[in-house]
Amino acid sequence: MQIHLTAAAKRFNKEWIFSNLDFSFTTGQHYALIGKNGSGKSTLLQIIAGYIGLTKGQISWVDADGKAIDSNKIYQHISIASPYLELVEELTALEQIAFHQQFKSIHSALKPIEILEKIGLHKAAEKQIRNFSSGMKQRLKLALAIFDQSPILLLDEPCSNLDQEGIQTYHHLMQTYAMHKLVIVASNDTQEYHFCDQQLSLSDFKNESGI
C-alpha cells in the first residue's frame, strides 16, 4: 500500500491549515505526524482516511498490486482510532466487537473475548460501554483499530486517557500486531510514536496564502 500527497493543502473558512505538502507513505513504514496545535495533524489523518477532502492538490491510494483505490472504497483498507470517533454506548464490549465485525475483518486467530483479555477488559465484557471510564473506552477503540486486518492503521493521540498500564498495553499491541502495517500516528507525545521510522512536521507546511 502507498499513499501519495501532491501539493496538498487544506483550508477551513479563510485559514489555511497546511499547504504545498508533497509526501508519500509506504506499507511497512511507520510515520509520526507532529507539529504545534492547529498545524493539521488530525485534519491530515481525516483526509488520509477519506473522511474529508483537500482544498487544493491531490491524494491517491495505491494497493499492493500498484492499482489505484477509489476514494469511496478506501475505508475498506484503513482502520483508525481517534478521540472524535465514538463507540456505541448502548452496546456491551462484546457486542461492539461483533458490530464492528459486520463491516471490517478482525484478527482471525482471536475470539472477541480473547481480544478483550489482551486489553484488560475481559471482566467488563458484558458491561454497557456507557458505563466505561474514558480509559476503558480508549482501550476498546485501540483494540478495534489494531486488531482490524486493514493494511493501514491511523492513530490520533492513541494514549489519550490511558494510565501507565494502558500505555504499556498499547506499546505491546503495536509491537505484536501492527508493525507489518503502514502506521501513521498523529501526536506530539514521543511515547505514542517512539517506534516510528519517520516524522513529518506539519508546522513546516503552514502558509497563510495556501499558494
Q: Over the stretch 95-136, which tens digit does the pLDDT of each residue have?
A: 999 999 888 888 777 899 999 999 999 999 999 999 999 999
| CA–CA separation, 34 and 41 (whole Å) | 7
Q: In this structure, which long-range contacts are made by residues 75-79, counting pairs with CB atoms below 8 Å and at least 24 apart in sequence?
A: 75/49, 75/50, 76/150, 77/1, 77/150, 77/151, 77/152, 78/48, 78/49, 78/50, 78/150, 78/152, 78/153, 78/154, 79/104, 79/144, 79/145, 79/146, 79/148, 79/150, 79/152, 79/153, 79/154
Residue 210 above 60 pLDDT? no
| CA–CA separation, 29 and 44 (whole Å) | 17
Global pTM? 0.93
Residue 208 above 70 pLDDT? no
Domain residue ranges of the chain, discontinuous segments joined by +: 2-205
Cβ(89)–Cβ(136) below 8 Å: no
Helix H segments across 2-158? 41-48, 93-101, 112-118, 134-146
> What confidence score (pLDDT) does residue 211 get?
58
CATH superfamily of 2-205: P-loop containing nucleotide triphosphate hydrolases (3.40.50.300)
